[in-house]
A and B are shown apart, each in its own frame.
Chain A
Amino acid sequence: MTISRRNLVKMGIAAGAAVSIPSVLRAQTAPTAARTVRMVKSSDLSIFDPIFSAANITQEHGMAIYDTLFALDAKFMPQPQMVGKWGVSDDKKTYTFELRDALGWHDGTPVTAADCVASIRRWGEVSASGQMLMARASDISKKGDKTFTIALKEPVGLLLDILASPVGPCLFIMREKDASRPASEQVTTNIGSGPFKFNDALARPGASFTYDRNEKYVPRNEPSDGLAGGKVVKVDRVVWENIRDKQTALAALQAGEIDYFEEPSVDLLSVIESDPELVLEVLNKSGYDMYLRMNCLQKPFDNVKARQAMLYLIDQEAFMRAAIGNPEYFKTVTSWFGNGTPYTNDENTGWFKKGGNPEKAKQLFKEAGYSGEKVVILQPTDYQLFGNAAQFLAAEMRKIGVNAELAPSDLGGVRKRRAKKDPVETGGWSIFITSDSDYSRGEPHTNVTMTANGENAWYGWPKDDKYEALRAKWADVATLDERKSLARKMQKVYWDSVGTVLLGQYFAPTVRRRTLTGLIGMPDIFPMWNMQKAEA
């Protein structure tokens, strides 16, 4: 058999058509580009269970596909979300909640009170506020298909704030069969009742995740307000693209291949500002508070004078200039309760407020009996912000004669090593640097980094019984003014014992194409409802 040139051409056309058929079919079923938003998030989603992991990206995944009983509005006040009606008994010990109508799981079954009860119990295993609630609850049970109650041993003034808290792990409501798993085991079914459905068929771990609009979701009637109000989804699909290289992400944004890019690096900001198609903005106006933790169990920071010396040493202005660079994106912060919470105050800050007093720091180290012991600073080399800050800190400490030594490793190595309580000679550590959202500093009852209960506290293990006694009262205090007063007392005690030294507050800008609008900025979490995309 011979093949003529004409036959060859025919075969070529047929082969080309065959290869392109799948894309033709897909074009008919996939949403148009104008109804699809492509986002590059600040980190990769690798854990899908928002109760199992408090990582911001996992909480945002949870916010997309799950729903919450209550949610904070833009003024950080709790508002009902899945709950339709609620009431509290006269003795303030029994809360009754009734779910609103038309709540349904993505698998088509209705949301019930049993799902809520199981979800609260699972969340109560791992969340600091959940654990506190479980300790104070005498009973949590369903009273009907859509009604459940929380009975308390004593009134908890902050109950609704606790249920609405965006500090991870948030109280996401899961199906009873998912929520029945222990919190130490991941739920990976990704079936929620939220405004978006997780598209498992298009999931490419490490590369991209796709969320489709949940057409059956019935939003509340109120307008969108922070994380509260109507969750109206105005696009058909949202794709999270995991573009690891920030330069590539910016190029993709400039070329219109993506619509949104979270946390571009500082060196890219001038390029972004010069592009008229791009908008640079700070969505999370709470920002983050960077701080250093000292190992209070080991020398030299087992001595309070050495810890106070660090407060004198740190010049936040200089520190932030070195770590962040552009003064538009940082501030100094001296209140233990952050810069932007209702509890921000200046109690007991006068003595160190300006920082940058190396002579005083040197003197206090001397008074602490410091005699040249090695001070090991953990440096995550794959996390530029903290890595640079650690380097700057080491240089500042060496200037006053402290034998500071950097211990470089990746972030995984830092997390492993910081759990060691041993002296530095046997693999321990002296200092590491991390950050919290500024908002979370207004929740000392949920924020584990604000504890000071010795070896049961977060890494660094500061101990101050007086502070802990005050902190224990936080959730019971009924009014805002009383909590503000309590905050002042707690701060007064804390800055005397110094378990943590704040290094400054910074803001992470995001960049979007001008065609993408309606983004909601809240602490830690950027929800995906309400945003819309105009034709380019």
Chain B
Amino acid sequence: MAAYILRRMLSAIAVMAMVGIFVFLLLRLAPGDPADILAGDTATEEMVAGIRASLGLNDPLPVQFVYWVRHMLGGDFGISIFSGRPVLELISQRLEPTLSLSILTMILAVTVGVSFGILAAWRTGGLIDRLLVVFSALGYSVPVFVIGFFLIYFFAIRTHWLPVQGYKPFESGLGPWFVHLILPTVTLSLAYIAFIARVTRASMLEVLSEDYMRTAAAKGASSYAMLFHHALKNAGVPILTVIGISFAYLIGGVVLTETVFNIPGIGRLVVDAINNRDYPIIQSVLILASGMYVLINLTVDLAYTLIDPRIRY
């Protein structure tokens, strides 16, 4: 197991290195550079040239790359070209909102999605199953911003029950933190509930049709025991895979929800940085995101051994 984890960690470093090279080149080859944006609309060419020189953007690409890598290996992710603040400080400010939203979304999506999927599989063709089909279609097809504004209209503007927008850090109190995350969590989780419920249903149906389930029923096992002790455990591997992938996607894909509910998360940080060509932020976030993606996949792979004792590394 230890050797497997070590191998995976080494491959994570290789993945991060490749992402680093790719992102660095992509940014430099894309049109636009931060000096033009920094200087503003009425800047003269001389002003832009002066800023470009002061940022070191006139140096050859290999020199810029080596400079960046050397500093990053020393734990220095650089300074934001625009705000002049350390990139790590900016990322740490944005990590909490994104993680809060992602974790709450996953808790809601897994709880509701798995339950919904089990119930639908248990009563195939019944009311719950048909409801799941309708819900899945809606969850997949209605865009986040439509759901978001719909919820804002009813729960914030009409009734004033919940805030329209914004994020309160955890340190400001559990209540304000949670209240500000209710609408974004519900909005974001609908698609994931639909996805997880569909996979759970399919996986459970496959297991429920196995011979050993019929044997368990013949032996008088209760519905609860059949569903949760026999079926769910065996159907767990694909469900866990989907949850892992969903969580990884979620961290990188919350930007639209963050925008609609004005949550200052990682997604918005990256979009703003791309618009401004703030190279140090884009590079650092993408490197860290790729590392996190690999880590989540590794965690999911290791979690398989808890569900299925046949899996060994």
Q: Which residues of A pack against B, CB within 8 Å? A: 16, 19-20, 22-24, 26, 44, 46-48, 52-55, 126, 168, 182-186, 188, 204-208, 241-245, 247-248, 251-252, 254-255, 257, 382, 409-413, 415-417, 419, 434, 436, 447-449, 458-459
Contact = CB atoms under 8 A, between A and B. Distances in A.
B268 A206 contact: yes
A382 B45 contact: no
A389 to B, nearest CB: 15
B85 interface: yes
Contacts of A188: 83-85
Given A54-B40, A255-B157, A436-B42, A19 B173 contact: yes
B181 to A, nearest CB: 15
A205 B277 CA distance: 15
A251 B173 contact: no
A416 B33 contact: yes
Q: Which 5 A-B pairs have the closest CB atoms?
A: A207-B264, A412-B32, A23-B173, A46-B82, A188-B84
Interface in B154-213: 156-157, 160, 163-167, 170-176
Given A206-B264, A412-B275, 14 more contacts: A168-B40, A204-B93, A206-B268, A207-B93, A207-B268, A245-B262, A251-B149, A251-B156, A252-B262, A255-B164, A257-B164, A412-B31, A412-B277, A447-B42
B272 interface: yes
B38 interface: yes
Contacts of A186: 84
A243 B166 CA distance: 9
B44 A458 contact: yes
Nearest to B271: A244
B275 A410 contact: yes
Secondary structure type dominating chain B contacts: helix
A4 to B, nearest CB: 24
Interface stretch (B47-55, B216-224, B293-301): B47-55
A61 B89 CA distance: 22
B163 A44 contact: no
B90 A20 contact: no
Contacts of B275: 382, 410-412
Contacts of A19: 170, 173-174
B39 interface: yes
Contacts of A252: 164-166, 262
Contacts, number: 150
Interface in B21-52: 31-33, 36-45, 47-48, 50-51
B264 A126 contact: no
Contacts of A182: 54
Contacts of B153: 251
B189 to A, nearest CB: 19
Contacts of A207: 93, 167, 264, 268
B173 A257 contact: no
Given A54-B42, A248-B262, A252-B262, A410 B32 contact: yes
Candidate in B42, B45, B80, B260 with the most chain A CB atoms within 10 angstroms = B42
A434 B44 contact: no
Interface of B: 31-33, 36-45, 47-48, 50-51, 53-54, 80, 82-85, 90, 93-94, 149, 152-153, 156-157, 160, 163-167, 170-176, 259-262, 264, 268-269, 272, 275-277
Given A16-B174, A47-B82, A206-B264, A412 B90 contact: no
A251 B165 contact: yes
B37 A412 contact: yes
B102 to A, nearest CB: 17
A231 B33 CA distance: 38
B269 A448 contact: no
Contacts of B41: 54-55, 415, 434
A306 B75 CA distance: 57
13 contacts: A19-B174, A20-B174, A46-B82, A54-B41, A54-B43, A207-B264, A245-B262, A251-B152, A251-B153, A252-B166, A257-B164, A413-B32, A416-B31
A53 B38 CA distance: 7
Candidate in A184, A206, A255, A409 with the most chain B CB atoms within 10 angstroms = A206
A416 B32 contact: yes
Given A184-B51, A251-B157, A419 B36 contact: yes
A23 B164 contact: no
B84 A419 contact: no
Given A241-B262, A257-B163, A416 B172 contact: no
Contacts of A16: 174
A528 B36 CA distance: 29
Given A204-B264, A241-B166, A416-B32, A20 B272 contact: no
A23 B164 CA distance: 20
Contacts of B54: 182, 184-185
B36 A416 contact: yes
Nearest to B34: A412
A23 B178 CA distance: 13
Contacts of A48: 83-84
B272 A206 contact: yes
Contacts of A255: 156-157, 160, 163-164
Contact of B36 (A24, A44, A415, A436): A415
Contact of A409 (B31, B40, B156): B31
Contact of B157 (A126, A241, A254): A254
Contact of B83 (A205, A247, A257, A412): A205
A409 to B, nearest CB: 6
A34 to B, nearest CB: 18
A502 B75 CA distance: 51
Contacts of A434: 41
B192 to A, nearest CB: 22
Contacts of B272: 44, 46, 206
A123 to B, nearest CB: 13
A26 B171 CA distance: 10
